[in-house]
């Protein structure tokens, strides 16, 4: 038995959320202690999150209320596991740059798959192709944001004395004024709890409203990500 396998991890190693939002953090806080009892690596948890997310996205391909609600719940599970992988990595001391990159890739794949599937499913039930094109536009914006983040990380890592992502997260600040709060809500909270938004809209059978909003919002998201101020916060 290795030293890592002989360690005992308790909920005392996990910081309880002190704010209401993001809501998904409250779910992961309760799931992480259970995952710590299993010999799962953070990267394996990330892959579980990815599979749940892809399954959730697939539920929206055919349209319909029940598949949409099922997809919403699967996305909530996906986001919960996505939070757990980082918590498990920190507690077990298994954080790595590869794990961070895998996490980013997983998030991006889930986002792209969801918007394409939602657009396709909505187009099928309405017999109007422009919904599919809106989904593609939203997916394109998410893809641009992913590759921009990837390029930014590579550039930062190439600099002498560059800080790791974990170090930058520790130095993140809290919103102080109205512009800060608007950026924080749009860039961090809305993304962290996006699965909750999807689930609520799926229950109301109006997930289609996300398509025009995301087709525009995804472009605004990656454009505003170009500014340093938008990267000063962390949920």
Contact predicate 233/187, CB 8 Å: yes
Residues 56-93 have pLDDT tens digits of 999 999 999 999 999 999 999 999 999 999 999 999 99
> 207-227 burial string, b = 16+ CB within 10 Å, else e?
bbebbeebbeebbebbeebee
CATH number of 20-231, picked from 2.60.120.10, 3.40.50.300, 1.10.287.1080, 1.20.120.1760 = 1.20.120.1760
**Which range among 86-100, 112-126, 161-175, 219-233 shows the weakest confidence by mean pLDDT?**
161-175
**Average per-residue pLDDT for the chain:** 87
Residue-range domain boundaries for the chain? 20-231
Q: What is the pTM of this model?
A: 0.88
- The contacts found for 13-16 with CB under 8 angstroms, 24 or more apart, are 13/91, 14/87, 14/91
Residue with tokens 């930014």: 152
């Amino acid at each position: 038995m290795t030293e890592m396998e002989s360690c005992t991890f308790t909920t005392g190693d996990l910081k309880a959320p002190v704010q209401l939002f993001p809501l998904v953090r409250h779910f992961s806080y309760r799931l992480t202690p259970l995952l710590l009892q299993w010999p799962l690596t953070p990267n394996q948890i990330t892959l579980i999150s990815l599979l749940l997310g892809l399954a959730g996205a697939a539920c929206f391909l055919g349209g319909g209320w029940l598949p949409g609600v099922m997809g919403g719940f699967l996305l909530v599970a996906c986001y919960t596991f996505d939070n757990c992988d980082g918590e498990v990595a920190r507690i077990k001391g298994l954080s790595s740059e590869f794990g961070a990159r895998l996490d980013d890739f997983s998030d991006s794949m889930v986002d792209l798959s969801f918007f394409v599937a939602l657009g396709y499913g909505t187009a099928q039930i309405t017999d109007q192709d422009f919904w599919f094109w809106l989904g593609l536009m939203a997916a394109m914006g998410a893809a641009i944001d992913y590759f921009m983040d990837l390029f930014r990380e590579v550039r930062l890592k190439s600099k002498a004395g560059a800080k790791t992502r974990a170090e930058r997260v520790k130095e993140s600040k809290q919103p102080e004024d109205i512009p800060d709060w608007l950026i924080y809500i749009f860039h961090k909270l809305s993304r962290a709890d996006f699965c909750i938004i999807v689930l609520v809209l799926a229950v109301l059978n109006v997930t289609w409203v996300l398509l025009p909003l995301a087709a525009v919002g995804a472009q605004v998201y990656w454009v505003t990500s170009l500014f340093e101020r938008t990267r000063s916060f962390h949920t």
